[in-house]
Amino acid sequence: MTNRFILSFLLGIIFCTTGAFAQDVKLTIQVIPPANTPLADTLLVIGDKAIWGDWIYPRSVRMHKANDATWIQESSFPVGTNVSFKITRGSYYTEALYNNKGEIPLAFSFRLTKDTTVVIRPSSWNDIYQRSITGTVRYHHNFSSPLLKNTRNVVVWLPPSYFKAPQKRYPVLYAHDGQNLFDHTNGAGEEWHMDEVADSLMRSGRTEEFIIVGIANTKDRWVEYSGTPEGNNYVKFIATELKPFIDTHYRTKKDKANTAAIGSSMGGLISFYMVWLYPEVFSKAACLSSGFYFDDGNILKEAVKSTKRLNGSKLYLDCGGLDLDKDFLPANEQMKGILEQNKLIQLKYLYFPDDKHNEYAWAKRLAIPLTFLFGK
């Protein structure tokens, strides 16, 4: 009887234990932080479970640092549990980002049906992304265009005196490829350093102060930044939807004399189109390494016929001599030759034989077009 009792007892333990384990699944969260993560900081999961503070971060359990490259947290939940969480360095302000646009991401949300390992690789942290920009910016995420039937991020950079001189109004520079202008966390690892350059020019008195509106591109960049119907609509979006919004929400000088555009490559091409298509709205453009070579609208052919619509405008063109710029150079020089025949256009054209087709080159010479457009 005794042996039977012991055997039954052991079988019962095995049965109960097996049953218990069958009801639980393990969630392993592994985070590989970006290089800009402060070494002294600890990672924290914030979420909808008690171990994650029920979305109250001071109650969350901190993650374990497995090695210099990985943080880990292991938790068990009943099979079928729905989980939702975010990765942070201790608060909502320091939560992880996963793209080059500075967007606050949605939580990771899914149902646990088996043991699961999630490997997460943030691109940056919200607070570091914000602080890496010189000056003050305002984000308008997922700015909607009824005309284009899409959304894109818009970031507005404000000049040094904006909050010190509440009665002052400012010219506006509309800049394409907005995700590459201000911050080093963009996906390519390159940026224009437009915030640092503009801030330096303004504080040194070389230019007047102006607002910069960075317009992020979309997957349709090549189509929108050319003389296609889609490109014409993109320019119309800026002129009739985005500009009225900016003029309503910021202290701008609304007239065409104080409204400019800037871009590089195809962004340079569409900046030219902004003045060409809406000369009553935009009177200035800086077109760096412009893609006249790739223009489906053949603006060169149109400009040969007449540049009268550009009378009174202020245009900066340049091009490098290496990389893709070598292919772009002939068309840029052709446009220069066309424009300089019209003495009512204020034109500046420069050639940089040692420059390649990249953000590093454009950042290096950025002070020149900004001074040309807004110099005192």
Tell me the three state secondary structure of residue 26.
strand
Write the pLDDT tens digit of every residue in 66-125. Answer: 987 899 999 999 999 999 999 999 988 889 999 766 677 899 999 999 999 999 999 888
Question: Residue 94: what residue type?
Answer: T
Cα 207 to Cα 369: distance, rounded to the nearest angstrom: 11
pLDDT (tens, 9 = 90+) of the chain, 376 residues, equals 444 433 333 333 333 333 444 589 999 999 999 888 888 899 999 999 999 999 998 999 999 999 878 999 999 999 999 999 999 999 888 899 997 666 778 999 999 999 999 999 998 888 877 666 788 899 898 999 999 999 999 999 999 999 999 999 999 999 999 988 987 544 444 789 899 999 999 999 999 999 999 999 999 999 999 999 999 999 999 999 999 999 999 999 999 999 999 999 999 999 999 999 999 999 999 999 999 999 988 999 999 999 999 999 999 999 999 999 999 999 999 999 999 999 999 999 999 999 999 998 999 999 999 999 999 8
SS3 letters for 3-19? HHHHHHHHHHHHHHHHH
Produce one character per residue of 65-79: b if its CB has 16 or more CB atoms within 10 Å, e if not: eeeeeebebebebee
Q: Which token pair is 117? A: 């390992």
For the chain, percent helix, then strand, then coil, each to nearest 5?
35, 30, 35
| pLDDT value of residue 99 | 78
Q: Domains of the chain, with CATH numbers?
A: 2-126 (2.60.40.10), 132-374 (3.40.50.1820)
Which residues are bridge partners to 191 per DSSP?
A: none
Backbone angles phi, psi at 373, to 5 degrees: -75, -40
State the angle between helix axes of 229-237 and 266-277 in degrees (0 to 180), rounded to the nearest 10.
Answer: 70
- Where helices occur in 180-317 by DSSP H, the ranges are 194-203, 221-224, 229-237, 243-249, 266-277, 299-305
Is pTM beyond 0.75 here? no
d(CA 295, CA 355): 22
* Cα separation, 180 vs 159, whole angstroms: 19
Closest CA to 220 of 173, 287, 150: 150
* Owner of token pair 């392993």: 28
Are the CB atoms for 154 and 195 separated by under 8 Å?
no
Distance of CA 361 to the CA centre of its chain: 19
CB of 181 closer than 8 Å to CB of 156: no
pLDDT for position 134 = 83
